[in-house]
Amino acid sequence: MEALEEIPAYLKSPGAADYYYGTLRYEDRTDSWIIEGEPVVCQAAKRLFPGAEGRYKGIAKFKSNKRTNGDLNWLMMRYPLRIIDQDKWDRQFNEAVNYVLKRNEIRRGPQKIEPSRMYFNGVLAEFQKEGVAFLNNNAPTLLADDMGLGKTVEALAWIAHQNRYPGIIVAPTSVQTQWKSQILKFIVPQLATGEIALFPNPDKSVHIIKGLTPYELPPANFYIIHYGLLRGWKSVLPSYNFEFAVFDEIQELRRAGTEKYSASSLLSESVGNSIGLSGTPVYNQGGEIWNVMNIIENQCLGDWGSFTREWCYGYGETTVTDPELLGEHLRREGLMLRRTKEQVLTELPPKRRIVQEIDADEKTFIREMKSVFELIERYDTIADNFEKGRAKREIAQEVRQATGVAKAPYVAAFVRMLLEAGEAVVLYGYHHSVYEIWVEELKAFNPVRVTGAETHTQKEYAKEQFIKGRTNLIVISLRAAAGIDGLQNRANINVFGELDWSPGIHSQCEDRTHRMGQKDSVLSYYLVCGQGSDEQMMEALGFKTAQFAGIMGEKTESEEDKAIAQVEIGKHLDKVIEKLKKRG
């Protein structure tokens, strides 16, 4: 252990006492501490450790880990307990002390870890070595680096450094194949499990789990499963005693109460050594971060009731009152690491965005809104609150689609201007009816699509066609951007023909081109019209962006930033017009 003077006061041993309020013993089966004693100490323990069990008087039971054990020592300073298993306590308490000292050391000055070349076949940037050191000391934790900074590589380097297998990767369907290829690229299979290769055939060291019905898993170092299958494997996966778990794009679990959420919670708790990866863990309101963090480490932000009372506007509320303070707490406690491109990639060109007003076809809008007017008439007659809420959501969805359809020809005209000037464009939308208009209007440019209508093979083919330059236009669903890599090598122009209610979705889409490998300033055009839902969505996005930026430790876009973006994008449009003049 480190020198005594470096240890914080609450982590110094209480020593012997004249009076003990009860006993402390360890339960191996559940990896928990159990306090049996006077009501005052059990009450204090249940307040200090949210979720502590103890239906009977005089008992408090809670999980042991390197974060809670420091607080347990603090509790015993006030209410001394007779420790039954002193050796077990000494080992776990020392881990808690070393964790805090190492965490403070990393906070004072970044530490770096680079895995041995015997286990890891890759070269890390300096900031990625710092990320590996952070994960190594703080797991379970959240790696929330900006998209495009190589979170997958950092996670694999962390795994290789630990060199303990097998483990499991939980990821969206769209990135399972990508994870497998990255594992085979960076992890050295011949030495990953010792001097003798356990799996001489590298391809067999990774197994992608198929189907909802559990089966006996074949030997492998890595198992990959997508979120949609977790409910079928809910009671099976925890029994495998995995050495690590990675929850990629963990914002998939930002809503509690689903089967995949409860399955993920059980899996994470069974592993202990879990990390989450996401550049956008908060999509809408800040309370979503509680759900995400609760998967990584159960009740690390308290129970839901106490979290909403203390961090939000009241019990059950989901808007965080001070997002910056919450973000600082997560980083200070080693629960989250967040680096932006601006902080670590000084050579990466800036990202610019502009809101561009375009026209919409009024006749088309009125025609599309006919069903909405009928819904509004029915809405006023609905008495049941549940039905009224559902009708309200349906109205919002129909207005959003009507807006997209009405402005679709004008979006296509704007994109055509860019394509005719020789630009490669990534066009984002939401509704299939809108995609159909875009594709028809721009069919001369041989567009390809990555939306919810294609098979995995078709999506991969479309992406390949765009990246290899066989087409200059790819249409992507706003909600299908996760896991798409390689666009940065082909394009720096994003066009948002439709909007999403979540700023996290927009950020994720932008960063498919603004990432390591991009050579030019990324320009994102948000095409909005005066009719329909665009104006309300822009207003809502301003509030939601503030929640995301505060927790992540970033600033929202200033008026100066907007002015600079306007100038930069004005220059780009001037170049586009000049190119078109020459062609004409």
Distances (CA, A) of 452 to 171, 189, 243, 501: 17, 35, 34, 18
First to last CA, the chain: 75
Residue 197 has a pLDDT of 44
d(CA 315, CA 99): 33
Q: Residue 451: name the closest of 417, 426, 472, 423 by CA.
A: 426
**Taking 50 as the threshold, does the pLDDT of residue 5 lie above it?**
no
**Among 152-156, 200-204, 382-386, where is mean pLDDT lowest?**
200-204
- Give residue-wise pLDDT tens across range 298-309: 888 988 988 998
**Taking 90 as the threshold, does the pLDDT of residue 89 lie above it?**
yes
Higher per-residue confidence, 383 vs 488: 488
d(CA 12, CA 94): 10
* Beta-bridge mates of residue 494: 426, 524
Does 119-344 match 351-361+406-583 in CATH topology? yes
Q: Which amino acid is at 425?
A: V
* pLDDT bracket for residue 258 (50, 70, 90): very high
H/E stretch holding 159 = helix 151-162
**Taking 80 as the threshold, does the pLDDT of residue 427 lie above it?**
yes
User: Whole-structure pTM over 0.75, yes or no?
Assistant: no
d(CA 155, CA 153): 5
According to CATH, the topology of domain 351-361+406-583 is: Rossmann fold (3.40.50)
**Taking 70 as the threshold, does the pLDDT of residue 199 lie above it?**
no
**Taking 50 as the threshold, does the pLDDT of residue 111 lie above it?**
yes
**Taking 50 as the threshold, does the pLDDT of residue 1 lie above it?**
no
Distances (CA, A) of 274 to 56, 243, 245, 250, 290: 32, 9, 5, 11, 16
- Give residue-wise pLDDT tens across range 266-287: 999 999 899 999 988 887 788 8
Residue 3 has a pLDDT of 43
Dihedral, CA atoms, 50, 54, 58, 61, nearest 10 degrees?
-60
Task: Report the top-level CATH class of 119-344.
Answer: alpha beta
Higher per-residue confidence, 114 vs 345: 114
- Give residue-wise pLDDT tens across range 33-86: 999 999 999 999 988 887 787 767 889 998 888 888 999 999 999 999 999 989
Higher per-residue confidence, 160 vs 394: 160
Task: Give me the helix-helix angle, 68-78 and 39-48, nearest 10°.
Answer: 150
**Among 95-99, 134-138, 389-393, where is mean pLDDT lowest?**
389-393
Residue 483 has a pLDDT of 60
Enumerate the domain spans of the chain.
Answer: 4-102, 119-344, 351-361+406-583
- Is the four-CA dihedral 430, 277, 183, 220 of positive or negative sign? negative
